[in-house]
């Protein structure tokens, strides 16, 4: 009888510990991940406008690199033409608009209201 109770308690503890580590995983470091897709900002927007469900299945929560021309810079975000909104974990320096850049980040979806694709945890791709 004591052996059965011990086994039940051990199984419950294993399930609780496993559940804890599953729920409280470490955060992804997008800057160190390899991008699964490299795409221009125009092509990315067009894919979402033509078939949002298919584009979501392909890009949502994936690390991607987007190349485009900067149209607007705010404190910690920038917009690539024609509508890719990128947020950065740090404050951005005011740089020149109309500059062509490649940004790596996690795609978090398409905003129907503003017709923008949203990326977060962005970094500028290092040129070699």
What are the tens digits of pLDDT across the range 13-58? 999 998 888 888 777 888 899 999 999 999 999 999 999 999 999 9
Q: Residue 126, Cβ neighbours under 10 Å: how many?
A: 8
Name the more confident of 1 and 66: 66
The pLDDT, as a whole number, for residue 51 is: 94
The pLDDT, as a whole number, for residue 22 is: 82
The pLDDT, as a whole number, for residue 2 is: 85
The pLDDT, as a whole number, for residue 128 is: 46
Model confidence at 127, pLDDT cuts 50, 70, 90, reads low
What are the tens digits of pLDDT across the range 70-116? 999 988 999 999 999 999 999 988 666 668 999 999 999 999 999 99
The pLDDT, as a whole number, for residue 67 is: 95
Q: Residue 72, Cβ neighbours under 10 Å: how many?
A: 11
Q: What is the pTM of this model?
A: 0.76
* Contact criterion met (CB below 8 Å) for 104 and 90: no
The pLDDT, as a whole number, for residue 28 is: 82
Locus of tokens 């951005």: 92
Q: Give the chain's domains with CATH numbers.
A: 30-124 (2.40.50.140)
């Amino acid at each position: 009888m004591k052996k059965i109770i011990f086994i039940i308690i051990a199984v419950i503890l294993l399930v609780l510990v496993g559940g804890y580590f599953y729920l409280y995983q470490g955060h992804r470091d997008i800057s160190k991940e390899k991008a699964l897709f490299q795409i221009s900002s125009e092509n990315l927007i067009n894919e979402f406008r033509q078939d949002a469900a298919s584009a979501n299945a392909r890009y949502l929560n994936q690390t991607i690199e987007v190349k485009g021309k900067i149209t607007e810079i705010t404190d910690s975000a920038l917009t690539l033409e024609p509508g890719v909104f990128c947020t950065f974990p740090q404050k951005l320096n005011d740089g020149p608009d109309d500059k062509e850049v490649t940004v790596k980040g996690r795609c978090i979806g398409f905003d129907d209201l503003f017709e923008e694709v949203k990326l977060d945890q962005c970094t500028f791709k290092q040129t070699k």
